[in-house]
């Protein structure tokens, strides 16, 4: 909601069986073939781009246009501090976009979206 750094940093690739045309959920038109077995979200091919399904401004207000249909890697990505667990990849993506850390290793999370 207020971050989106991971969606504008990492390659979002997944097995082609997750494509809508194969019985999955991810709209084919938002993807490209990465390997014989993997599809990738447009914009994230090089691993440093921005997913074509990401709306808004990273670090301010963002949303995923296909949130209910997103692929398993998107569903599985953890924000740093989720369940009290530090996540280096999340923190790296945030740092790349000039955003402050959500959590220091072994410290309580500070994500305002998830604060109790
Ligand atoms: S599909 Fe949605 S959750 Fe996945 S990388 Fe793109 S914007 Fe982010």
As for ligand 1, residues whose beta carbon falls within 6 Å of it are: 7, 12, 41, 51, 53-54, 64, 66, 70, 74
Return the SS3 of 2. Answer: coil
Q: Are 43 and 10 in contact (CB under 8 A)?
A: no
- State pTM to two decimals: 0.88
Predicted confidence (pLDDT) per residue in 2-22, tens digit: 999 999 999 999 999 999 999
Tens digits of residue pLDDT in 61-80: 999 999 999 999 999 999 99
The structural domains of the chain, with segments of one domain joined by +, span 6-77
Among 48, 46, 82, 51, residue whose Cα is nearest residue 69 = 51
CA-closest residue to ligand 1 atom 5? 7
**Cα angle 31, 32, 38; round to 5:** 100
C-alpha angle 78/58/46, rounded to 5°? Answer: 75
Q: Which two tokens stand for residue 52?
A: 């074509």
């Amino acid at each position: 909601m207020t971050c989106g750094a991971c969606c504008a940093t990492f390659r979002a690739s997944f097995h082609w069986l997750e494509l809508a045309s194969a019985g999955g959920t991810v709209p084919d038109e938002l993807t490209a073939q990465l390997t014989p077995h993997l599809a990738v979200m447009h914009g994230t091919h090089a691993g440093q781009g921005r997913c074509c399904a990401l709306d808004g401004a990273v670090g301010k207000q963002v949303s995923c246009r296909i949130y209910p249909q997103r692929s398993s890697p998107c569903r599985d990505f953890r924000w740093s501090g989720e369940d009290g667990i530090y996540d280096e990849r999340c923190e790296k993506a945030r740092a790349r976009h000039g955003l402050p850390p959500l959590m220091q290793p072994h410290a309580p999370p500070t994500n305002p979206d998830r604060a109790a």
